[in-house]
Amino acid sequence: MRSHLLNDVTAEQYRRSVTEGVERVAHRLATTRRPFSGATPDALAPRISAVDLDRPLGDSSAALDELSGLYLDDAVYFHHPRYLAHLNCPVVIPAVVGEAVLSAVNSSLDTWDQSTGGTLIERRLIEWTADRAGLGPAADGVFTSGGSQSNLQALLLAREEAKYDDPAQLRVFTSESSHFSVEKSAKLLGLPARSVVSLPTDRERRMQTVWLAAELERCAAEGLVPMAVVATAGTTDFGSIDPLPEIAELAARHGAWMHVDAAYGCGLLASPTRRHLLDGIERADSVTVDYHKSFFQPVSSSALLVRDTATLRHATHHAEYLNPRRAVAERIPNQVDKSLQTTRRFDALKLWMTLRVMGADGVGQLFDEVCELASAGFALLAADPRYDVVVSPALSTLVFRYIPADATGPHAIDRANLHARKALFASGDAVVAGTSVDGRQYLKFTLLNPETTAEDIAAVLDLIADHAEQYLGENLVHAS
Ligand SMILES: *Cc1c(COP(=O)(O)O)cnc(C)c1O
């Protein structure tokens, strides 16, 4: 069994095995004609259950052969131009090279003595990102597993910085379109459900700051403590960007921590033409960035940035075996002092490779392209009488629904849209997402693939219309 350990003796075997895996993926990418096979859970589950985990196959060729039928044949492929569903991006090759390197070397970024240069590379990238956000000379941060963890840590810091006697006094203000991880984080931090105040949005699905102002006043009048205002720069459903300068002003006036959740909108930090959409982010106390959404990085790659490095102490614990206090005196750079995690992947290497190969403008241009594609898609939808489209996109998301020509009740329209999404997924021709808007069912394109064209969008709209019409036709037949 020692022949499977990666070391000096097996280096050649490692090269062959990994190359074999890479070749299979390359073949798959080159020949996949649809984003998805349409396989159902019922079809896949028995195949995976049938594998006897106590009877190994012995070598990776055999395991890779088996994996084709268990996973690769029926995976959902985000690189396909007709994958239009969630906030998943196609990945850039330099990042995948970084991924291969980081998992083989397997550095752990908790302490210097497990990572050395890795820690310094991560710190440079945090500095680089914080600098692009304009967070100032004392800024810092740490890579995390994703936006949810970044938001949790931000709210932990906000709570620790707040002055209060009873946690029941704390209030977190956010918009009704913000990510659910804000509420979940509050719950994890032991705050009661009423502590998260969800503010109405305007037509463009941005937080209405008149409501924020009023709620902050009310909070003060009631003797409560405004722990944090969470603004979203790129909401998950609409890509809308809250008015950051006004929010910063209000948060400052009321002494609230300002967190900007830029999990989606962070790509604008690299955009050669759209950086101004994030104006106001420089006033944040903390920022969430998901490189695995708009920097074309493989999952996971995310970071939490803070304006003041001192605030990260709220995540610090000194363990004698790992990061004793004397390491601080010796100025040893240990990232575990800043992180909720202990053992932690060197995910930063992927972004490092990306910037060293493509440069920031290169990545930013790709994000610009998908934002432009979304504008073209909006024009198509707005001109198409079959569709109702919700808002003109700030980033790369389109929310819309199919509306049949003949008068049909609102429930039938909901069901037709739900059906169209499911039927499309089952066909594997395209993958689209769904959401609800004002209680009605809508469909959603999250455009993160620069290879998707306006023709792809038009073709998928035709497919949706066909599926919806077919459903309505069959249902009318049923009813009559
Ligand atoms: C995706 C998303 C998150 C959660 O990030 P994960 O990386 O999925 O944990 C948080 N906020 C916003 C606005 C998001 O779009």
Say if residue 344 is in the same domain as residue 246: yes
Please tell me the least confidently modeled range out of 103-107, 175-179, 334-338, 407-411: 407-411
pLDDT tens readout for residues 20-52: 999 999 999 999 999 999 999 999 999 999 999
Range 184-191 average pLDDT: 97
| pLDDT at 238 > cutoff 80 | yes
Give the pLDDT of residue 20: 98
**Ligand 1 geometric centre to CA of 262 (Å):** 8
Indicate which residue's Cα is closest to atom 10 of ligand 1: 147
Query: Counting atoms of ligand 1 from 1, which one is nearest the CA of 148?
Result: 9
Count how many domains the chain has.
2
Indicate which residue's Cα is closest to atom 15 of ligand 1: 236
92: which DSSP letter? P
Residues 6 or more apart whose Cβ sits within 8 Å of residue 126:
140, 141, 142, 143, 303, 305
Contact of 424 with 433, CB cutoff 8 Å? no
Say if residue 248 is in the same domain as residue 149: yes
Say if residue 235 is in the same domain as residue 316: yes
Task: Check pocket membership of 347 for ligand 1, CB cut-off 6 A.
Answer: no
Contact of 139 with 221, CB cutoff 8 Å? no
Contact of 364 with 113, CB cutoff 8 Å? no
- Could you give the maximum distance between any two Cα atoms of the chain, in Å? 82
Task: Check pocket membership of 306 for ligand 1, CB cut-off 6 A.
Answer: no
Who wins on pLDDT, 214 or 476? 214
**Ligand 1 geometric centre to CA of 59 (Å):** 38
Task: Check pocket membership of 302 for ligand 1, CB cut-off 6 A.
Answer: yes
3-state SS class at 172: strand
| pLDDT at 437 > cutoff 80 | yes
Residue 57 falls inside a structural domain: no
Q: How far is CA 260 from CA 173, 232, 480, in A?
A: 12, 6, 53
Residue 13 falls inside a structural domain: no
Range 347-373 average pLDDT: 98
Within 10 Å of residue 441's Cβ, how many Cβ atoms? 21
Say if residue 331 is in the same domain as residue 409: no
Residue 147 falls inside a structural domain: yes
Residue 32 falls inside a structural domain: no
**Ligand 1 geometric centre to CA of 177 (Å):** 12
Domain that holds residue 225: 108-357
Task: Scan for tokens 């069912």, then name that residue.
Answer: 441
Task: Check pocket membership of 232 for ligand 1, CB cut-off 6 A.
Answer: yes
3-state SS class at 225: strand
Task: Check pocket membership of 297 for ligand 1, CB cut-off 6 A.
Answer: no
Range 144-159 average pLDDT: 98
Range 354-377 average pLDDT: 98
Residues 6 or more apart whose Cβ sits within 8 Å of residue 113:
none
Please give the share of the chain, as a percent, with pLDDT higher than 70: 99
Say if residue 261 is in the same domain as residue 345: yes
Q: How many helices (H) and strands (E) does the chain have?
A: 14, 11
Say if residue 394 is in the same domain as residue 418: yes
Residue that finishes a domain, picked among 320, 340, 357: 357
Say how far apart CA 174 and CA 207 lie, in whole Å: 8
One-letter amino acid for residue 93 of the chain: I
Say if residue 124 is in the same domain as residue 244: yes
**Which of 332, 362, 191 lies closest to 270, judged by CA?**
362
Indicate which residue's Cα is closest to atom 4 of ligand 1: 147
Residue 30 falls inside a structural domain: no
Say how far apart CA 316 and CA 252 lie, in whole Å: 26
- The token duo for 253 is 């006036």
Say if residue 430 is in the same domain as residue 448: yes
Residue 28 falls inside a structural domain: no
Range 116-135 average pLDDT: 98
Whole-number mean pLDDT of the chain?
96
**Ligand 1 geometric centre to CA of 126 (Å):** 18
- How many residues comprise the chain? 480
**Ligand 1 geometric centre to CA of 267 (Å):** 13
Task: Check pocket membership of 87 for ligand 1, CB cut-off 6 A.
Answer: yes
Range 390-410 average pLDDT: 93
Cβ burial, residue 21 (10 Å; 0-12/13-18/19+): middle
CATH of the domain at 168: 3.40.640.10
Instruction: Find the angle CA(291)-CA(295)-CA(300) to the nearest 5 degrees.
Output: 35
pLDDT tens readout for residues 248-291: 999 999 999 999 999 999 999 999 999 999 999 999 999 999 99
Give the pLDDT of residue 10: 97
Q: Rounded to the nearest 5°, which phi and psi values hold at 2?
A: -65, -20
Say if residue 371 is in the same domain as residue 334: no
Say how far apart CA 198 and CA 184 lie, in whole Å: 13
Say if residue 344 is in the same domain as residue 279: yes
Give the pLDDT of residue 182: 98
| pLDDT at 477 > cutoff 90 | no
Residue that finishes a domain, picked among 322, 341, 357: 357
Say if residue 350 is in the same domain as residue 464: no
Give the pLDDT of residue 470: 95
Residue that finishes a domain, picked among 357, 382, 412: 357
**Ligand 1 geometric centre to CA of 182 (Å):** 10
Residues 6 or more apart whose Cβ sits within 8 Å of residue 70:
44, 47, 48, 51
CATH of the domain at 383: 3.90.1150.10
Residue 263 falls inside a structural domain: yes
Best residue for ligand 1 mutational test, from 88, 177, 293 (most atoms within 8 Å of Cβ): 293
Range 54-78 average pLDDT: 97
Provide the CA 382 distance to its chain's centre, in angstroms.
Answer: 27
Residue 12 falls inside a structural domain: no
Say how far apart CA 254 and CA 275 lie, in whole Å: 28
Contact of 470 with 462, CB cutoff 8 Å? no
**Ligand 1 geometric centre to CA of 145 (Å):** 11
Say how far apart CA 125 and CA 95 lie, in whole Å: 14
Task: Check pocket membership of 183 for ligand 1, CB cut-off 6 A.
Answer: no
Band (405; pLDDT cuts 50, 70, 90)? confident
Say how far apart CA 378 and CA 269 lie, in whole Å: 23
Range 91-116 average pLDDT: 97
| pLDDT at 125 > cutoff 90 | yes
Give the pLDDT of residue 480: 42
Band (478; pLDDT cuts 50, 70, 90)? low
Say if residue 454 is in the same domain as residue 318: no
